[in-house]
Amino acid sequence: MTKSNTVGALAGFRVIDLTRVLGGPFCTQLLSDHGAEVIKVEPPQGDEVRDWGPPFKDGLSAYFAGVNRNKRSIGLDMRTKRGQEILFQLLEGADVMIDNFKSGSLEKWGIGYDEVLAKRFPSLIYCSITGFGADGPFGGFPGYDAVAQALSGQISVNGSPETGPTRIGVPIIDLATGLYASIGILLAVEERRRSGLGQRVDTSLFDTGVALLHPQAANYFMSGKAPVLTGNSHPNISPYSQYQTKKGRLFMAIGNDRQFRLLAELLGHPEWPTDPRFLHNPERVENRDALDAEITDALRDHVAEDITMALLAKGVPAGAVLTIPEVAKHPHTKHREMVVELDGYYGTGIPVKMSRTPGSVRTTPPHYGSATRDVLAGLGYDHAQVDELITDGVVYTKRAKAPS
């Protein structure tokens, strides 16, 4: 995918993005990919993930670049009165403001949503992403993905008896919180069509982690039994695991008897479906180890990528375990435009495909404060006024040094 003039489904939608790190920026990139104008308002020191690396390229960290395309960056100290005045000017024409500050930060600065923003901007949708929400036993505490994975129970069900509880490799809770936040924002937009009013959208990493505990939480609620570590296996389905082949590893996820019969036929074991141990899923779950051993033996002479195509063609859910470089170069990845390139920037593609108003990558991730002057000019400030604001430490075009 290259640069596109497509405006997208959210053209004309303005987002004032005060977020940093991951969950919030992931949410606002999703919106910007579909045409929203996103102004990324960064504190004087900038979004800290600008320093998370290596790798770095052209002064940007990969971590920052991965979730901040299609945005404009301005540097602003919102702790100052003049900085808050500029924020209010930005909000005059905005649909959404989103932050992931520690609970109570806006109130401490005298610009809380209930006390100030909702009254001054009644149609504004305000989305807050926090670690644990504003109240409750953990209320107000800061949160990171791994901490939320631990406290929400996610780590307790990830891993094998050999590894013990293990963090999920990608920051899944941060990313999913960004998705929930985007859904919440669009729900609030739809409701605003009827009421004309904005509202607060409250999301937290902890809530997301608990919401994603399926099927383990459902199993616990019904059985009263605490889930145990199952490694690559599924607690409710068999065969559902990773298997070694002659070359490469293969993951299979057999969800019904028809799929199991097709698997057995393709692997040359038509007797499996009539074996009393493997008749139906409950028997296969009960005799999981015996079935896995037979499947492993049957795959001994197969190549993972080749057998993947044969199984998928028969309607059997299976896939070779690919590396990131293999995925990036795969022809299906290219076909689905799931790697994008623009002016030397490479990123993952846009997974939501719209038939009339497709998303697009229009601008590369911004350098800090690169749009400060342009955005302020759009608010009516002339060059001399912007220079004065920079001199006075209200706005920034270059990152300030972090306090020691």
Active site residues: 174
Query: Peptide bond before 54: cis, by omega within 30 degrees of 0?
Result: yes
Burial of 270 (0-12, 13-18, 19+ CB in 10 A): exposed
Tokens 């609030």 map to which residue? 188
| Beta carbons of 227 and 220 less than 8 angstroms apart | yes
DSSP-assigned letters across all residues of 133-195 = -SSSTTTT----HHHHHHHTTTGGGSS-TTT-S---SS-HHHHHHHHHHHHHHHHHHHHHHHH
Distance CA 152, CA 130 (A): 14
Instruction: Please report the sign of the dihedral spanned by the C-alpha atoms of residue 216, residue 217, residue 221, residue 224.
Output: positive
| Local confidence pLDDT in tens for the 404 residues of the chain | 334 445 899 999 999 999 999 999 999 999 999 999 999 999 999 999 999 999 999 999 999 999 999 999 999 999 999 999 999 999 999 999 999 999 899 999 999 999 999 999 999 999 999 999 999 999 999 999 999 999 999 999 999 999 999 999 999 999 999 999 999 999 999 999 999 999 999 999 999 999 999 999 999 999 999 999 999 999 999 999 999 999 999 999 999 999 999 999 999 999 999 999 999 999 999 999 999 999 999 999 999 999 999 999 999 999 999 999 999 999 999 999 999 999 999 999 999 999 999 999 999 999 999 999 999 999 999 999 999 999 999 999 999 987 75
Domains of the chain, by residue range, sit at 14-212+351-396, 240-329
| Beta carbons of 295 and 268 less than 8 angstroms apart | no
Tell which residue, 127, 124, 71, has the closest CA to residue 94: 124
The superfamily CATH assigns to domain 240-329 is formyl-coa transferase, domain 3 (3.30.1540.10)
Orientation of helix 304-313 relative to helix 257-266, angle to 10°:
130
In the chain, what is the straight-line distance between the N-terminal and C-terminal CA atoms, in Å? Answer: 43
- pTM confidence score: 0.93
Q: Which CATH number fits domain 14-212+351-396: 1.20.120.640, 3.50.50.60, 3.40.50.720, 3.40.50.10540?
A: 3.40.50.10540
Quote the DSSP letter at residue 227. P
Tell which residue, 62, 94, 42, 8, has the closest CA to residue 364: 62
Tokens 């495909």 map to which residue? 353
